[in-house]
Each structure stands twice: as structure tokens, then as C-alpha cells.
Chain A
Amino acid sequence: MTALTLTPIRVRARRPVGVTVAAAFLGLVVPAAVLAPLLAPYAPDAIDLSASLAGTSPGHLLGTDSSGQDLLSRVLYGARTSLIAPLLLLAVAALLGVTLGVLAAWRGGWTDAFVSRLTDVMYAFPGLLFTVLIIAVFGTGMTTSVLALGLAYTPTVAKYTRSLALSESRKPYVDAYRVQGMGGARICALYLVPNLGRSVAGYLVVLFGEALMSLATLSYLGFGAQPPSSDWGLMVQEGQASVVQGALLPALVPGTAIALVVVSFNVVGVWAADRLGGRN
């Protein structure tokens, strides 16, 4: 008999203004990326050397780069790679990380020790260095970058999942499945992992911004997306040369796009993680 069991009262927390603004912004960016072919005034690779490094004008709302390519069109098309690639990266990290984390938590003993040491080692190794190493072996390109970063993000996800799975697997409903005679693999795959889903999903939203940054960094360094792609990281790198010539827009436009999207995802992600993770 507990002393006082109050039925929780649902007090709806007010959503902070920042979250609303960030969510609204993302609500514009995602459809814009999907509808890029309809919205963009030019093809992303349409070269017009006569309009090289033009400033903002009715013809080119955000100006052009040194090859006279319309920056607005490039940023819109670039949103597609820049948004989908982190998604794939996180899918790889989630698949591997959740599997390893749950395995470590469920099996315990030497399995746990092995996975924990493995993640610790990868943690200690700078993620970018690790990625560059893989790219050095398997060659540059978007696919390699996504896979390499996916591996680099795996330990973070694994560590997080392990701690969640550890407390979840101690809950009596998991014991109840075992008492029913259900096998460990089945309990984990069908019942334990889905119950972690919300918390893990919240965490992945927070990681999304970071993943986008990492990919942009790789592209900027020339390891990721290759020309003529209009990936934002690559655009910043290409636009850098123009800064010397006094044209800021070619670097500023994709740079701002990255900053705004990353910040928005962080703001929304942290809020969502609190809501999704805290309410279990």
C-alpha cells in the first residue's frame, strides 16, 4: 500500500517561442527541398558566365556564384542531398547502435564489457579522423562518407541505447515475458526495442543537426559530395574563393542555410527529446 498515489495531472507545458519558430522554419525547408524542381527558377547547374558573381536582383534573388549559377536554385536543390544524407547516416548509426546497445544491456557479462570497451575506444578516437581514415581507404564520395560517418556515430547511439535498455530490461513487464517462456531475442526485438523507440527517436533528432554538420564538413574538405553537386558544404567551399573578390553571397548563402537548419534541428530536437524521453 503506497502512502499516496496521486493520479498524475496532465499539465500542458507551454511550447517555447523558439521551438515554434524553429519548427515553422523546418516546416518550410523540407517541402522546399522536395519541391525544388518546381520552385527553383533555374537548373542548379545552369552556367551563365555573363552573370558571374551578380548580387541580389529580381532575376537572381540570392545572387550568383563565379560560374553565374543561380544561388537560390542551388541552395534549394542542395537541400535535398543535405537533408537526405544525414537521414541515411543516422539510419546506419541507429541500426548498428541500437543493436549493439541492446545486445550489451541484455547479455551483460563479457558481451557488455566487449561492446562497452569498443565504444569507449571509438569515443576516444576523434570522429572526423576516423571518418577520414575510412575515406582514405575506400575513396571519396557521398556514399562512403555516409557509411563512414554512420560508423562514427554508432558508439554514441550504442552507449545511449545501452543505458536505456538496461533500465527498461529491469522492468517487471520484461520479466513477465521471460516467465511466459519467450526467448530473449524475441523479447528484445518485438517488445523491448519498440518501448525504447520514442526515447531513441528523440535522441536521433538531436543528432540530426550534428550529422548534417559533419557531412557538410566532409564535403567542404572535399571528401564528401563532389562537383557539380550543389551540396551545401561543397557550395561553401566553392564560394570561398569569391570572398576574396568581394562577393560574400556564394559562401554566405549555403553557410547560412547550414547554420539555420542545424540550429533549428537542435532546438526542436532537444524539446522533442524532453517530451518523448521524459514521458515514459
Chain B
Amino acid sequence: MKDEALLVADGLRKTYALPGRGRLTAAEDVSFTVARGGSLGIVGESGSGKTTVARMLVGLVRPDAGGVRVDGRPREARTPRRKAARLARAREIQMVFQDPYVSLDPRLTAAQCLRTALRLHGRDDGTAAELLDRVGLGEREAASLPRHLSGGQRQRLAIARALAPGPRVLVLDEAVAALDVSIQAQILRLLDEIRRDTGVALVFVGHDLAVVQHITDEVLVMRRAGSSNRAPPGGF
């Protein structure tokens, strides 16, 4: 059963040292699986450790215990020193961050941003136009710096950038939380289309259950320090 899943998180645990005494447990024994092309929502209020889990998945935070496997292969907890290993690891899981106002390099235009990611992974520059088209950005936006794009357009660009390496799994950390309701729906719809067309699996982290359950098959609810209930959306 477990071997069939694309993404397996097994007993993830992370604590941080508090000033003075004690440790703060950000995540405790978090385990879940995501099927090929599937989607999992992780819901919790602020401080429940859901962002820590997202960052452990992509390797920005090293878990104290537990591990992540993609396609049966365990991911190294440390960023590999060798470039090839690093890039291969990046092609497994990509991430879209919460705030599109600070998650894009302010100096690069939309097209440059995508070309940087494509070149790094040895993919054809020309794919940039395809990706921009894929997320609904036109030529005018391609030549624009992030500060000249609206919040929704920036998040579209961030999604295109995450798709550039051709990942198997896309982790979205509160990816629509900073957006207006009418824009949220546009982005949710886009993500749904992308999942359908490319078969990329989604891990959607958020605090708003209504939003999360709308685009995921299954939802994991995190309480403070640890994980708990897991149910299909109908169960709520």
C-alpha cells in the first residue's frame, strides 16, 4: 500500500530550542501519503506547525526525526553537495510560498525568473513562454518586474516558476491566503487545471478548511504540536 504512494511522509518531527529552557515542538510524528496525481490538504491554525511540515517536505527545514520518500526513494535530509543530486532532489518537490510580494526576486522580470529556473535544470529557454501561457500571463507581464504585477499575477508567476523544473509534487504553503477572494478563485481554478493536465500531485497547506477541501481529495488537520484527524472532506 505504502509503496504505491508517490509521496510518503513518515513520522516527521521538528522542535526548536527556546531561549532559556525547554524546546518548542513545532511538529510531532506527522505522517501521511499522497498518491500519484493526488492532492492532500493540510489544515491548521497559525502555530500548528503546518508551515514547518511544508518546509520539511521541500528540504528547507531538517526534521529531527522521520523522513520523506518520493517514489520509494528517501529524500536526503541535508541539501546534497553535488549539483546533480541537488537538482534531482528539486525535481521531486517544488514549492509555492505564501506571500507573492516577497517570494519573487525583485530584480528579475517574469520571463527572466522562469528562464533562470529552466536553465538551472537544463531545460529549453523557450519553455518559458509556454509556462507563462499555462498560468495565464501574457507578453506584457512576461517583460514586467514583480512590483509591476498584481498579487494574483505574482502568484501565477510563482506557480509557473515552481512548475519549471517539472516537479512530481507541488507544495503550496498558504498560496492563496494573501490574495483577494475573487483572485483566490482564479488561482484555485488554475491549480485544479494544472493538476488535471500535468498530473502533478498537490500538497495544499492552509488555515481555511473551506478553501483547502475545495481543491484536495483528503485533508489532514493539524493541532498545536502534532497531527491528528485525517478524513476525506465529506467527513467534516
Contacts and interface: CB of A to CB of B under 8 A. Distances in A.
B204 interface: no
Contacts of B165: 180-181
B121 A176 contact: no
Interface stretch (A129-137, A167-175, A240-248): A167-175
Counting chain B CB atoms within 10 Å of each CB, the highest count among A178, A180, A181, A191 belongs to A181
A280 B91 CA distance: 31
A32 B83 CA distance: 52
A172 B95 CA distance: 11
Interface string B78-99: 0100010011111101110111
Interface in A224-279: none
Given A176-B161, A179-B60, A1 B117 contact: no
B120 interface: yes
B188 interface: no
A182 interface: yes
B90 A180 contact: yes
A183 B79 CA distance: 9
Interface size class on chain A is: 10 to 19
Interface in A168-227: 171-173, 175-183, 191, 194-195
A175 B105 contact: no
Given A171-B102, A194-B107, A181 B95 contact: no
B128 interface: no
A217 B87 CA distance: 53
A172 B97 contact: yes
B208 to A, nearest CB: 8
A280 B58 CA distance: 28
A181 B181 CA distance: 33
A194 B106 CA distance: 10
Interface in B31-65: 58-60
B90 A195 contact: no
B126 to A, nearest CB: 19
Contacts of B164: 180
Interface in B161-198: 161, 164-165, 177-181
A191 B59 contact: no
A181 B107 contact: no
Interface of B: 58-60, 79, 83, 86-91, 93-95, 97-99, 102-107, 117, 120-121, 151, 158, 161, 164-165, 177-181
Given A175-B103, A179-B59, A280-B106, 12 more contacts: A1-B180, A171-B103, A172-B103, A173-B103, A173-B106, A176-B103, A176-B104, A179-B93, A180-B161, A181-B86, A191-B105, A191-B107
18 contacts: A1-B178, A2-B178, A171-B103, A172-B103, A173-B102, A173-B104, A175-B60, A175-B103, A176-B104, A178-B60, A179-B94, A180-B120, A180-B164, A180-B165, A181-B86, A181-B90, A181-B91, A195-B106
Interface of A: 1-2, 5, 171-173, 175-183, 191, 194-195, 280
